[in-house]
Amino acid sequence: MSHDKISAAARRRMAETGEPYAAARRAVIREHQAAGSQIPPPAAEWFPVSFRDAGLDKINIWLDRGLFGGGPGRSGVEVDADAVRIRGVADFRLDIPRASVRSVARSQYQARGNSGVHEVSRGRWLVNGCADGLVELVIDPSLYTGRALSTGFMKRRVNSLILGLTDPDGFIAAVQRDGGHS
């Protein structure tokens, strides 16, 4: 089954069940594999950042989606056997080796309307589009960001990431599956 067919089947399933895209895609692939077809498992799983426009003005929406190239469908986290890769919210990029992920769990952080990329305390970063589906990754040893607008064009230390995702439980399961972190 080609990528286009998988994507179309996942979108149909989303419309029928109301599941997030990532969960619907995994279910479509599992069903297809159970039917006897030989689709190799995906090399990486994609978990989109959750977004909500409520409360945002048109300028901020345009900046995020137009100027910075982020927004729904473009911002998310890719999990594979080697790394967890954060992509697309503003210009923030970070590749975290799986061996550096110490823990992953639902976060109790109160975003209070903040969205985008922010350092909320020393080494602790918030990467989100809304306050829903927050998950925290603890990283050890600390990593450093690249020089980008979202980091004030400075390399900044990262020892914890709070991510706002559409499928937080699926993300936690994907990170724990190969790495065995709690």
99-155: per-residue pLDDT in tens?
999 999 999 888 776 677 877 888 998 888 777 889 999 999 999 988 877 777 888
Residues 97 and 123 placed together within one structural domain of the fold: yes
First to last CA, the chain: 34
Residues 62 and 109 placed together within one structural domain of the fold: yes
Residues 57 and 25 placed together within one structural domain of the fold: no
Residues 67 and 22 placed together within one structural domain of the fold: no
- Ramachandran region, residue 149 (left: φ > 0; alpha: ψ -120 to 50; beta: rest): alpha
Residues 34 and 52 placed together within one structural domain of the fold: no
Identify each DSSP E strand in the chain by its residue range.
Answer: 44-48, 76-80, 83-87, 94-97, 101-106, 116-121, 124-128, 134-144, 157-164
Phi, psi (deg, nearest 5) at residue 29: -65, -45
Query: pLDDT band for position 39 (50/70/90)?
Result: very low
Alpha-carbon distance of 161 to 84, in angstroms, equals 11
Residues 83 and 96 placed together within one structural domain of the fold: yes
At 43-57, the pLDDT tens digits run 688 898 887 655 555
pLDDT of residue 129: 77
At 6-19, the pLDDT tens digits run 888 888 888 888 88
Residues 4 and 69 placed together within one structural domain of the fold: no
Mean pLDDT of 157-178: 90
pLDDT of residue 58: 64
Please give the residue range of the domain that contains residue 10: 1-42
Residues 104 and 80 placed together within one structural domain of the fold: yes
Residues in contact with 9: Cβ distance below 8 Å, sequence separation at least 6, in sequence order: 1, 28, 32
Number of folded domains that form the chain: 2
